[in-house]
Each structure stands twice: as structure tokens, then as C-alpha cells.
Structure 1
Amino acid sequence: MEGGISHPIPRTVEEVFNDFKGRRGGLIKALTIDVEKFSEKCDPEKENLCVVGLPNETWEVNVPVEEVPPELPEPALGINFARDGMEEKDWLSLVAVHSDSWLLSVAFYFGARFGFGKSERKRLFQMINELPTVFEVVTGSVELAEATPHNNSSKSKPSAKMSRQPEPQHRGVKMSPSKEEEENGEEEEGREEEEEHGATLCGACGDNYANDEFWICCDICERWFHGKCVKITAAKAEHIKYYRCPGCSSKRPRV
């Protein structure tokens, strides 16, 4: 099923990461570009089926392997049984979640098999963690074009999490600033916020950004909103991993 015999076995951190990227690319293609073809192959009338990403950025739907234990960790089985029992977007999202889990298990299987130490495992995870997950791509949390790592061709907008509220400049063990320094710091911070957002308009009310107002960006459409316009406070935003504005919430799947 896997076809892994024809692919070189990765033995170093870089090789395992490249194997991960290839398999991930194949799964993303199946769940975004080749959705119709993928759905056709997941016939509920067949036995347990699973989707596998291959190192050459292709994918296949097949039955489980016969040998026990298998050469590689098994993907989620029975994905075809739920195909017609769920909304397509929810089904694809669920397959994406299990695909992410499988990708990690394969990568760290190779790490365990070839004796990766603590520093090597940490480096591998950090490299993997720089990439958006399959689930994030499939559900639209990130654009497909942005799923390629290390794309620094243009200056990206700060994430909504970082830009929701200016952080104080003096924290932890640093000594508290004098009143004059604090005032100067606030003025500088205000100028930076204004430069960062420029003439950005609120996606709800259409008014300009003001540095004394709480401001939040939708992680899907990347429009900015006054917190009061979308009923989000700074405290609440701290617990939101991905913010979806009201318009995008009605369009995107949730699992």
C-alpha cells in the first residue's frame, strides 16, 4: 500500500524533514486540489480505506497493509465510511486532522528507528512546526500559497495574535521605568502602531484605526476590526488561537 519500498529511507534529520514535506504536500493536494478524485476513491461500499501521502508529493487511497506490525505507522482507517454521512467540508477537515497525526507519527518513527537524540528530535520538531498543518490549509486558516515554508519574498503582516494589543515594553525582572520614560515609550509605541496599520479601515464599521482602541485581524480574510465591532475584548483574544470574523465564521468548517 505504502509504496515506501521504492522510496529511499530517510536517515538524517534533513532527510526525514524532506520526507515529511513530500508526504504533507501529497495529502494537501488530495484534500484541496484533487478533492473530486479523492472523494471518488473513498467508496463507502469498499472495506477499510486510508489515505497515504508519499514522499514524492503524491497520494493514494488503499486498504491497510497485511503485515503486522506494518513497515510504517498506519494512517486512520475507514475514512471512506464517513464520506456520505457528513458535509464534505467537515469530512475533509476530519481527514486532515488524522493526516497531521499520521505525518508526525511517521517522522518520529524514523527518528526512533535511526536513534535520533534529544537535540535531533527537537530540531526535527522545530522544522516541522514551521509549516502550517494540513488541517490549517484545508480549513482555510492559511492560504494554500502561504503553505510553502520560508517564503520571505514580501514582508508579511504580523499575525493577529501578535497585533491584537500592544505589549508593555517593561516586564519581568527589568526595573520599572520613570514616568517620563513611560510617557515617551507610550508615544513611540503609538507611532509604531499607527505606522503598522496606516490607513487600515475596520471591516465592520469602516472607521480608521486608532491607537487607543483594541484592534483584531481575521486570520482568514486578514481584514482588521475594532474589538467592540466584533464583540471581542483584549482578554478574550488572548485565548483565541485563530480568529475568524463573523463573515468568515459562516463559511469555514469547524470540527
Structure 2
Amino acid sequence: MDGSGAYNPRTVEEVFRDFKGRRAGMIKALTADVQEFYRQCDPEKENLCLYGHPNEHWEVNLPAEEVPPELPEPVLGINFARDGMQEKDWLSLVSVHSDAWLLAVAFFFAARFGFDKADRKRLFNMINDLPTIFEVVTGTAKKQTKEKSSVSNNSSNKSKSNSKLQRLSESRGKYSKPTPKDEEEDEGVEDEEDEEQGETLCGACGENYASDEFWICCDICENWFHGKCVKITPARAEHIKQYKCPSCSNKRARS
């Protein structure tokens, strides 16, 4: 389905890279490209599957005809459930099956190329360090990060941390270096703030915050996104009064 015959990852690092690429493509389909994904999953069509490819692209297509298939197949008929439930529930269902498929593909490679117990454990730990597609799509990963932060910070630290995050929000996700005065005010809580920002996850790809990347926050759902994931540049962000992520824009259009 995706040229896997010419692409066979043989090491733990290669299988993990394959996993991340497929995962990024599927997250993109369920978040940034959700409107197009919804359109392609027409219930009037035959059994359809959502495929993630190693190059971070996604595809809605019929399953391969050969039996057994070259790789494990995703769940069939995701399009049939589209109009039978609320959109968020349908996307959650597709997310769960997508997570299961990604694990199946990763450990298919692990078995095919004879990974031993140590390699299989290392592969699983690398995969488990990333939030699942379900967690990214439903916002569970963000909630877990917030809960962890609220437990570790006291009320005074929260107010100072919020002031720095507010500056981050006002700059549309582009982190501005604090002044010397700011650094004095934030002394003692900077490490905790950096940890909090480092735990912030992109609502599109699910990757962590990095200070050298441009980020933007949705004013509706308050999720953060890499600018590149939602196709927003710093120059364009300067002219946006209220930013709505693709998911929130899509919901508003349907309502």
C-alpha cells in the first residue's frame, strides 16, 4: 500500500522512525486535515481504511487485495461509522484503531527482523514516550500535562508562570526572551516553567514544545500548534486577531 516492499526498517531506530512518520501522518489526518479526511470517508463508498505512511503523509483507501497482506491492515470500514455517531466520537474511534495498527506494524517489523527481548523492550519504551494518537486527538495528553503542572506548582509559582506563558501566548507562540527585570522576578521558578513549556504538546503532531520553533495557540480550544503543522508563519500570525485551529474552524463551519 505504501511501497513497503522497498522500505524495510531493520533496526530499532529505523522501526521507531517508521512508527513516528506513520503516526505523524495519521495525526495530521485527524487534526489539521480533518475536514478533508471527513470528506474522503464517505459512507457511500466501500470499506475504507486510514493509512499512515513513513513520509508523514496519510491516505484513505481500500485495503490491499493480496492475502495475507504485506503489512498488517488498519481497521476496515471507518467510513461506515461516520454518520452513525457524533464527529468527536467517530474521530476517537478511528484514533484508537490507528494506535492499534501502528503498534501492529512496528512489532511486525520487530518479529520479521528477529528483535530480541531487549530490542523489543527498547522499541516499546521509545514508542510509549510519545502520546497516543487518541490522547492527541481527544486532548487527553494536554489535560495530563496540566494536571501534572498543577500538582508540582504552588499558587505563587503559578501566577509567575502564567505571566510568562501569557507573554508566550501574546506573541502567538513565538517565545520572547525575558528582560533582566523579568529574570529577577522569575528567579527560582524558571526551571519549573521551562519544564512546563517542555511538556506542552502540539495539537497536530503531538510532539513537545521547543523554544527554537514557532508556535501558535488556538484562542478557542487553547491547544498549541507548531506553525508548520497548521501552515501559519510568524508574519501571518501578526495579522491574526483571533486564531482558530483547523479543528475548531471545521466545527464552526459544520454548525
TM-score by length of 1: 0.58
Structure 1 segment 4-83 matched on structure 2, within 5 A:
4-6=4-6, 8-83=7-82
1:97-126 deviation per Cα after TM superposition (whole angstroms, max 9, x unaligned): 000000001000100000000100010001
Amino acid at match of 1:10: P
**What SS does structure 2 have at the residue aligned with 1:84?**
helix
Aligned pairs, how many? 167
**Pair 1:83–1:159, CA change in 2 (3 A):** closer
* Equivalent-residue separation in structure 2 for 1:34 and 1:49 (angstroms): 17
Structure 1 segment 127-206 matched on structure 2, within 5 A:
127-142=126-141, 159=145, 162=148, 193=154, 196-197=157-158
RMSD: 3.0
**What SS does structure 2 have at the residue aligned with 1:51?**
strand
Q: Report what 2:194 is aligned to.
A: none
Q: Report what 2:115 is aligned to.
A: 116
Structure (1/2) with the larger helix percentage: 2
**Pair 1:193–1:71, CA change in 2 (3 A):** same
* Equivalent-residue separation in structure 2 for 1:27 and 1:46 (angstroms): 20
* Equivalent-residue separation in structure 1 for 2:47 and 2:57 (angstroms): 21
Amino acid at match of 2:132: T
Deviation at 1:12, TM superposition (A): 0.2
Deviation at 1:2, TM superposition (A): 3.4
TM-score by length of 2: 0.58
Amino acid at match of 2:59: E
**What SS does structure 1 have at the residue aligned with 2:137?**
helix
Percent identical pairs in the alignment equals: 64
Give the unaligned 5+ runs of structure 1. Answer: 144-157, 167-191, 202-218, 221-246, 249-255
User: Considering only CA atoms, is the larger Rg found in Structure 1 or Structure 2?
Assistant: 1
* Equivalent-residue separation in structure 1 for 2:145 and 2:39 (angstroms): 37
Q: Report what 1:209 is aligned to.
A: none
Deviation at 1:68, TM superposition (A): 1.1
Deviation at 1:80, TM superposition (A): 0.6
* Equivalent-residue separation in structure 2 for 1:194 and 1:133 (angstroms): 31
* Equivalent-residue separation in structure 2 for 1:56 and 1:200 (angstroms): 37
Q: Report what 1:103 is aligned to.
A: 102
**What SS does structure 1 have at the residue aligned with 2:98?**
helix
Amino acid at match of 2:69: P
* Equivalent-residue separation in structure 1 for 2:63 and 2:15 (angstroms): 23
Amino acid at match of 2:80: F
* Equivalent-residue separation in structure 2 for 1:16 and 1:56 (angstroms): 13
**What SS does structure 2 have at the residue aligned with 1:142?**
helix
* Equivalent-residue separation in structure 1 for 2:61 and 2:125 (angstroms): 31
Give the unaligned 5+ runs of structure 2. Answer: 163-198, 201-220, 223-255
